[in-house]
Structure formats: C-alpha cells, structure tokens
Copies of this chain bind each other. A is one copy, B any other.
Amino acid sequence: MESGPCSRPAEPRHCVSGRAGAGLAFPAFPLSAAGAEPGSRIGTVAAVLPAGGCGERMGVRTPKQFCRVLERPLISYTLQAMERVCWIKDIVVTVTGENMEAMRSIIQRYGHKRISLAEAGATRHRSIFNGLKALAEDQPGCELTRPEVVIIHDAVRPFVEEDILLRVVLAAKEHGAAGAIRPLVSTVVSPSADGHLDHSLDRAKHRASEMPQAFHFDVIYEAYQKCSDFDLEFGTECLQLALKYCHRKAKLVEGTPDLWKVTYKQDLCAAEAMIKEKISQEICVVVNTKDEESVGHLLEEVLRNELNCIKVTSTVLDRTSGDIENFIDQCYSFICVNVVSSESRETRKLLSILEESSLPLLYPVVVVLVHCFDFTVVPLAQKMENLVWIRELAKEAKGRNVLLSGVLLNHSQRLE
C-alpha cells in the first residue's frame, strides 16, 4: 500500500533510449496534421491512467491491463505509447494496493519513465480522482507539478497515437474539455423494465465516447471535487462530469479505429496480432561482405521484390564499423546470411549487440541465420554440427527474448 496519495518509483534500471522517440516500434504520427509545435502551444500536460479495473469482462482472473501480449503486460504498451510523447510531463497510473508491487516491477523491467503511481479507488471515477489529487499539489507528500491540461486515457488502449493526443489536448485547451469519439458499431437500444425494446437510438445522431480525453486541470479537478457520491460510484463519463459540474461542453474529436479498447478475450488476440504486424514491417538483411554479387545482397533483392509491403534494408556486419547499431532501433527481424562459416563467434557477436540494445526488452527480436554450404565440398557432419550449436545458442537467446533459427542452404558453386 502507498503511504501518500502518490509516489514516484526509483528511476528505472533499463532505459529505452536517451533519444526522444528512439527505441520505439511505432513512430510518432507527424505532427503536421495538427499544424503544431506542441510544446510551445499547450503548456504543461500530464496524464492520468486508471488501471484499477479487475477485468471481469475478459473472463480471466488476471486484470486485463496485466494480461500478457507477446510476453509483456498490456499496460506496458500503453505506457510506452504515452511516454514517447515528449510533451507529456508526468504520467500518473492508479493501481490497486494489491497490484502496486507488480506495477512497480513492470515499470522497472521495461524501463518506463515519467511514471508515478497512485492508489486506485473502488470505481473508475474514484481512481481518476485519486490520480488528479496526485497532480493537484495541494495534497501532502506530493512531488508532482499541477499541469495546465490533463489527459485521461485507459490503460487498455495501447495503440493511441501522438496525433490524437495532441488534437484532444489542443481542443481541451480551447474548450476546457475534449474527448475522442468513434462511430457506433452497433445500434443502441433502450430496454423497458420487462426486457422489451422501448426505443432504438438513431445511429447517425450518436457516437461512442472513447479515450483519450483531456481537460483544463482546474475544470476536471473542480468537477470531481463537486460531484456526488452517486456519480463517483456509478458514473462512467468524465466529459459528463465537466458538463454537469463546470458547464463545459466538451469538444468531440473524431478518433481513428486504433483507439479501440481491449475488453474481451478476442481483443487480446487482436492486440497481439496488430503488434506482431507492426513489428514485422521491416527486415534487415545482415551480410558479412560488401560484395554486391554475394548471396546476401541477392537475397535482399529477392525479398524486396517479393515482399511489397515490407521495408527491406541491409547492413554489413563489420566489427570495426558501427553500422549494425544504426539499424537496431528500427527493426525487429534480421536475416543473417553467411555470417558464420562453421563456428559461432560472429553470431554470438551479433546476438550480444542485439541483447545490449533495448530491442528485446520491449519486443521479441527474430534472427534467422542462413548458412550457405557448397554440398560438393562441405561434409554432412559439419552441417549437422552447425545445426547443433545454433540450437544451443537459440535456447540461450530465447531467455533474452531473441528468437533465433537457422537455415542450411545447400548449393554447388552457384546458388540453385
């Protein structure tokens, strides 16, 4: 349990990267859409992420924000999406007492920054209120700065982009309150007390209220301070509180489909598939020669022609140059051609470069070793030997989130 309303965990041991936006699989949306240099226009911005839910709709015991997607808790993806936005100064996550330690270890393990923890309340609104209190500066023991604008976002919407965050924040700055909306997927009906259709709502006149939302801090804090216990207990909509208690009609901002909320089991599957797709958009072919006629360069050309939607790059593995280091910030899939002859030293070198980077900390990194053998020359036993050490190396690497596999390519002189 936390002693004060908020506490800042120790600086994480691992850091994703010193550079803004680096170490991220999903590059930030170009800000031109909102025509902004945001820092100068929006003042201090903080975010509150309620993460106290118990995930009963998911049908599993683990709260959905802590369910694992590609071995990493869902909330870590959402934190990554928020913290890469450099103009968000503080991110307050509200967590139940029993999950506080787990949350702290997630922050440490995945190197999240600018995160503070506050204790969740029994309902969503109470949790958000606790997060706001942590930012309000009028509470004892609080170390955070009262922001001008506060974003409220769900821990289970990991795909939020900088663009929509900025649009919502700018709208909030202008109107006091703003929130993302989406078209309704289903018609909404109002049942009568006996479970019959009373009336159905015109789909064209209604929208689904999604996250992120943003508010003048003073507006939403006042709304929470004024609102009734009934609101705190049964309400679900922050925009409604701002309207009811501060008479601010929130600006509604059309969002994109990726704002969707991980609610049911199938959504976890979808999240995993979407993340896999995003980290598979680039392949880097690693070769050990600059010779343009080499198998590696030929493979690169073939891949580039065959895989239209995927970016194919190449780099030369040369211990004296730093080429490979430049690639590992953008790419999670490597094909290494002819890196080794029949020993594992160069492969180990490559693996240690990858492991020293932050890459496998956040996503699994796939490395395919392609060994070309001239079958007229190299004896079978030597090939088998290669398979054996690749398998051993793969076992070790897997523990560090690098998925290594080997391909033996038999050819005679020219590639067949």
The verdict on A257 contacting B252 (CB below 8 Å), with A187-B237, A204-B234, A206-B189 known, is no
- Chain A residues 181 to 212 lying within 8 A of chain B, measured CB to CB, are 181-182, 184-192, 195-201, 203-210
- A26 at interface by CB-CB < 8 Å: no
Q: Which of B188, B191, B196, B269 contacts A274 (CB 8 A)?
A: B269
Query: A206 to B187, Cβ gap below 8 A?
Result: no
Query: Which B residues are CB-close (under 8 A) to A266?
Result: 257-258, 260, 267, 270-271, 273-274
> Nearest CB to that of A267 among chain B residues?
B270
**Which one of A76-84, A137-145, A243-251 is at the interface?**
A243-251
- Chain A residues 254 to 309 lying within 8 A of chain B, measured CB to CB, are 257-258, 260-261, 263-267, 269-274, 277
Number of copies: 2
- Chain A residues 164 to 190 lying within 8 A of chain B, measured CB to CB, are 175, 177, 179, 181-182, 184-190
- A239 at interface by CB-CB < 8 Å: yes
Query: Which B residues are CB-close (under 8 A) to A401?
Result: none
A215 to chain B, nearest CB (A): 12
> Nearest CB to that of A258 among chain B residues?
B266
Query: Which B residues are CB-close (under 8 A) to A277?
Result: 269
Query: Which B residues are CB-close (under 8 A) to A258?
Result: 266
Q: Which of B185, B197, B243, B272 contacts A239 (CB 8 A)?
A: B197
Query: A196 to B257, Cβ gap below 8 A?
Result: no
The verdict on A187 contacting B252 (CB below 8 Å), with A175-B196, A200-B209, A273-B269 known, is no
- A415 at interface by CB-CB < 8 Å: no
Query: A206 to B186, Cβ gap below 8 A?
Result: no
A60 to chain B, nearest CB (A): 12
Cα of A209 to Cα of B197 in the assembled complex, Å:
10
Cα of A179 to Cα of B175 in the assembled complex, Å:
40
- A381 at interface by CB-CB < 8 Å: yes
Query: Which B residues are CB-close (under 8 A) to A249?
Result: 192, 196-198
- A19 at interface by CB-CB < 8 Å: no
Query: Which B residues are CB-close (under 8 A) to A57?
Result: 257
Query: B237 to A185, Cβ gap below 8 A?
Result: no
Known pairs A196-B250, A197-B239; list 16 more (Cβ under 8 Å): A175-B196, A187-B240, A188-B208, A189-B252, A191-B207, A196-B252, A197-B252, A200-B209, A200-B237, A200-B243, A201-B201, A204-B234, A266-B267, A269-B269, A269-B274, A272-B273
Closest 9 CB pairs of A and B: A269-B273, A270-B270, A266-B270, A186-B208, A196-B249, A197-B250, A200-B240, A187-B209, A187-B237
On A, residues with C-beta under 8 Å from B are 57, 59, 175, 177, 179, 181-182, 184-192, 195-201, 203-210, 234, 236-237, 239-240, 243, 249-252, 257-258, 260-261, 263-267, 269-274, 277, 380-381, 384
